[in-house]
Amino acid sequence: MAGESILYTIFLIFTGASILATATLFARQSLLVAYIAVGLLAGPHVSGLISDPALIADIANVGIIFLLFLLGLNLEPADLKKLMREATVVTLLSCLVFALAGFVISMSFGLSPTDSLVIGCTMMFSSTIIGLKLLPTSALHHQRMGEIIVSILLLQDIIAVTALLFLEQLGSESSALIDFAGMLVLLPLISVSAYYVSTHVLSRLFSKFDQISEYIFLLTVGWCMGLAELAHAVGLSHEIGAFIAGVSLAANPIARYIAESLKPLRDFFLIMFFFGLGAGFDISRVPEVFALSLTLALAAVIGKPVIFKLLLRREKEKRRLAGEIGVRLGQISEFALLVAVVATASGVITERASMVVQTATILTFVMSSYWIVQRYPTPIAVDDKLRRD
């Protein structure tokens, strides 16, 4: 980030976000909108206060790593096993429906079959960040709604990472089949190794030094980042490594304490994530893709709640619970942005298709978060009756 210090960048992010967040709360909007908007205003495509958002994006990815780590912490293997059949059915059927919807809509707007196929792929996933960020901690830990949402997002994330690996291999000279075979071997190997280290080493260290909170924090962050980097080094993603690190600690009695301790750190980096999302967005190109992007966004924000509700009702979930889960999952995922970037870099899709995905994703972030904050309990609700942490 030439000519821009880290201090100056953090000043712009948090001072700008605090000012715009104040206006956003008075307007009864979601804080996530403020974070994206301040990034857009400060980015190279508007004011140019930040000339290169690449460094911010790298830092912001740490927020996603911590989010996946906390997701793993809150998902005990026994709970996942109970919900595996239901979550698998709902996830696979919903992915199929929205992949088909995205493909058909894109083709009807004149995009190529390849572009339409990738756009359909991005429509399959809901946002892990919004899904968990706007879910009260009590619901995440102790209620069936939290268990179902976490299970569906987990399976979606696994599918998304698989899609990313496949797209990366399309742009390389190596064999995608060989790399997938390697992933199928490495993933369980790392998972088993992580569980062994967690139960035989980390649990003893936690027990011995559980009165020293600073050490617990340091050991936890080191475990998360270390396993994330190990996964990346062997060809998987940082996010998968962080998730494995979290799951390996989920059964430990200290897991709940760790989850609460890391929430401020997660929020710090997630503010930077949304800022980087806005800063990297070229608003001048929106008019050429707006009609298609808006159609896709509406299909996600309106269609996903309906489909998820129908599928969950089919699995005998209560009507109200199924409806709320559907709304909370009614957006396109941040993984869609990664898919668009990787597919463009690999030459699989055009720049126009990539812009469609970016615009549709941001539109769903804004619309979906507003709907959730106005209607359901969230940690950032404007209405005191709906604010729950």
Per residue in 102-126, pLDDT (tens digit) is 999 999 999 999 999 999 999 999 9
Output 7 or 105, whichever has higher pLDDT. Answer: 105
Is the pLDDT confidence value at 213 over 50?
A: yes
Backbone angles phi, psi at 373, to 5 degrees: -65, -35
DSSP state of 51: S
How far apart CA 332 and CA 105 sit, in angstroms, is 15
* pLDDT of res. 1: 45
* pLDDT of res. 120: 93
What is the full DSSP assignment across 318-380?
A: -HHHHHHHHHHT-S--HHHHHHHHHHHHTTSS-HHHHHHHHHHHHHHHHHHHHHHHHHS-BTT
Give the predicted TM-score (pTM) of the model. Answer: 0.76
> How large is the average pLDDT for residues 342-353?
82
* pLDDT of res. 351: 86
CB of 280 within 8 A of CB of 273?
A: no
> How large is the average pLDDT for residues 147-169?
77
For the stretch 207-216, contacts whose Cβ atoms lie closer than 8 Å and that sit 24 or more positions apart, written own/partner, are: 210/254, 213/261, 216/254, 216/257, 216/258, 216/261
CB of 328 within 8 A of CB of 122?
A: no
pLDDT per residue as tens digits for the range 263-282:
787 778 778 878 877 887 88
Backbone angles phi, psi at 136, to 5 degrees: -55, 145
Adjacent-strand bridge partners of 387: 378
Is the pLDDT confidence value at 383 over 90?
A: no
* pLDDT of res. 2: 47
AA identity, residue 7: L
pLDDT per residue as tens digits for the range 57-112:
676 677 778 777 877 776 666 656 666 778 889 999 999 999 999 999 999 999 99
6-383 has which fold?
Na+/H+ antiporter like fold (1.20.1530)
Output 221 or 81, whichever has higher pLDDT. Answer: 221
* pLDDT of res. 233: 84
* pLDDT of res. 184: 65
Q: Among candidates 234, 180, 186, 231, which has minimal Cα distance to 68?
A: 231
Output 347 or 388, whichever has higher pLDDT. Answer: 347
* pLDDT of res. 182: 63
Output 379 or 359, whichever has higher pLDDT. Answer: 359
Q: What's the whole-number average pLDDT of the chain?
A: 82
* pLDDT of res. 332: 93
